[in-house]
Amino acid sequence: MNNLKLHILGCYSATPRAFTNPTAQALEIKNHIFLIDCGEGTQVQLRRQKIKFARIKHIFISHLHGDHFFGLPGLLSTFRLLGRDTPLHVYGPKGIKEAVTLMLKVGSAWTNYPLIFHELETNTSELIFEDDKVEVFTIPLKHRVYTNGFLFKEKLGDRKLDINAVLNYNIDKCFYQNIKKGKDVTLDDGSVVANDKLTLDPQKPKSYAFCSDTSYKEDIVPIIKEVTMLYHESTFLEQHEKLALETGHSTAKQAGIIAKKAAVGGLILGHYSTRYNDLNEFKEEAKQVFDKVALAEDGKEFLF
């Protein structure tokens, strides 16, 4: 069984501290490592978690607040120093290309590898990456600046051979690949064996939704419906709901409500305000409405 693996590189809001980092994550899915947001210190955290820089080919930036992308120019510069030559794709709000390229150019640190920007500006969910195994969609969020979350979805895989059935019909191995693709088989006597007699259903595709930063926004529910795992910001506790609304953030309870309405497999909380000393309060508050809650912590890994 193939699991998705999520590395929490940083999960706090506002300024970095000696023992906490702003938002960044690395998601391992179908032989990809996708970097999601890139706050200050991200490349140090990548080193600590032994994530190979060369495997990162796609970076997704939710919005242009510093705690979500100020680590990007440094990481791009390090790729250059390491002699990278493979293309790197950066997906983010319109303006990200200007912001990053200006910094690299004035420092004479322009990349020696292809750097491709995909600037986003629509307010509806759109497909922004696709290959034969994975799709990535935007999740329009509501913050003080233009912001997207990201939905990462495995594609439905090939059907699985029921080897006993295949052997029973004495089918040659040269047909196996076509059978896994869903095709029927014609035997030597002209009879046709239906595919469902030779195969088993493929593993259910897994998915991950990243939602940070955002006010409570119920209309994202159809986009993230029944995802395997949801990360949703929970900057504040319910006692500071008014402050959450004013700053374009969510409470832990609101994150739990979104998780419940979307019937997700599990909820990870993060982007905590540093005003709070006990993170368990976030978990307990979200669990008032949704049971399967975990806390993001810098350096923590999740398998799902």
Amino acid at 260: K
Reported as a single tens digit per residue, the pLDDT across 197-213 is 888 888 899 999 999 99
Q: Torsion-angle region of residue 70: left (phi > 0), alpha (psi -120 to 50) or beta? A: alpha
Nearest to 293 by CA among 266, 271, 272: 266
Domains of the chain, start order: 5-157+203-303 (3.60.15.10), 160-200 (no CATH)
Nearest to 34 by CA among 11, 13, 7: 7
What span, in angstroms and rounded, lies between the C-alpha atoms of 60 and 137? 11
291 marked among binding-site residues: no
Whether the model pTM is above 0.75:
yes
Reported as a single tens digit per residue, the pLDDT across 139-184 is 999 999 999 999 999 999 888 888 888 888 888 888 888 988 889 8
Return the SS3 of 196.
helix
- In this structure, the number of other CB atoms found within 10 A of the CB of residue 153 comes to 20
Question: Confidence band (pLDDT; 50, 70, 90) for 9?
Answer: very high
Question: Confidence band (pLDDT; 50, 70, 90) for 1?
Answer: low
213 marked among binding-site residues: yes
63 marked among binding-site residues: yes
Find the helix packing angle between 96-106 and 72-81, rounded to 10°: 50
What span, in angstroms and rounded, lies between the C-alpha atoms of 242 and 211? 20
Phi (first) and psi of residue 5, to 5 degrees: -125, 125
Residues taking part in catalysis: 67
Across the range 48-71, mean pLDDT stands at 97
Reported as a single tens digit per residue, the pLDDT across 236-269 is 999 999 999 999 999 999 999 999 999 999 999 9
